[in-house]
Structure 1
Amino acid sequence: MNHRESVDHDAVLRARTLLLGSGTINIHEAVDAYRLLAEVSPAVYLPRLAQALLEYGTADPRDPGTRLAVLTEAAAAARRMAAAEPRRAGLLRKALEACEQELTLLGRTEQARSVSEELARAAGSEERDR
């Protein structure tokens, strides 16, 4: 079975309707919708997913473990974006900076250092692309 056959088309329709509706949705609903839609149309929805995860991770979760998981997912979504996506570098930088800060606050300095190194590589790559 290919990817298209395994997609729940009703769920995709519900997610799109939720995002396009005139009502206010909370960040949890937006993240869930973007997660689903990013699987169907990554070029369109991965940047939106990364942005929503960043907003959620830097504003909402009080639990440091949850915050780190959300920020790590934001970085992963940004990494999956096409290199030609104009917002990729900025979203990846913001996600990595937030991950590094959270890891430092949790006392996980070795992992924070690893994220810092990735951040430096990403910044160098961004400079070369200009």
Structure 2
Amino acid sequence: MNHSESVDQNAVLRARTLLLGSGTINIHEAVDAYRLLAEVSPAVYLPRLAQALLEFGTADPRNPETRLTVVTEAAAAARRMEPAEPRRAALLRKALEACEQELTVLGRTEQARSVSEELARAVRGEEGSR
């Protein structure tokens, strides 16, 4: 049994309907829908999940710990994308920059340095693929 078979198909249908509906949804609802749909169709929904998480993590002036949690999830989603995904490099770069910023705000300099190193590798890889 693959993973998509273990996901509640009614929940998948509700998530798709929510995203395709004519009404407006808030970022929390969008993130929840993309989280679920990324389990079923990662190639399609991981980029959307990463983008929504970045919007959510940088738009709302919550505390740095909460922002760090959200942008860290965005980075994880970007890492899980297929290397051939055109938006992967940009989303990963944005997410890592946001992680580094929040870690710096929190005074976690060693962790920020580690993220900075990953960011540098990602940028080099992006430049090498051009």
- TM-score of the two chains, using structure 2 as the length reference: 0.97
Structure 2 partner of 1:59? 59
Return the offset for 1:7.
1.2
Q: Deviations over 1:22-67 (max 9, x none)?
A: 0000000000000000000000000000000000000115121111
> Which residue identity does 1:7 align to in structure 2?
V
- TM-score of the two chains, using structure 1 as the length reference: 0.97
Q: How many pairs were matched up?
A: 130
- Taking only aligned residues, the RMSD between alpha carbons, in angstroms, comes to 0.9
Aligned residues of 2:82 and 2:88 also touching (Cα < 8 A): yes
Identity in percent:
87
Structure 2 partner of 1:18? 18
Aligned residues of 2:3 and 2:39 also touching (Cα < 8 A): no
CA distance in 2, matches of 1:4, 1:44: 14
Structure 1 gap ranges (5+)? none
After TM superposition, where is structure 1 displaced by more than 4 Å over at least 4 residues in a row?
A: none
* 1:129 and 2:112 aligned: no
Structure 1 partner of 2:37? 37
Return the offset for 1:2.
3.2
> Which residue identity does 2:52 align to in structure 1?
A
Aligned residues of 2:68 and 2:99 also touching (Cα < 8 A): yes
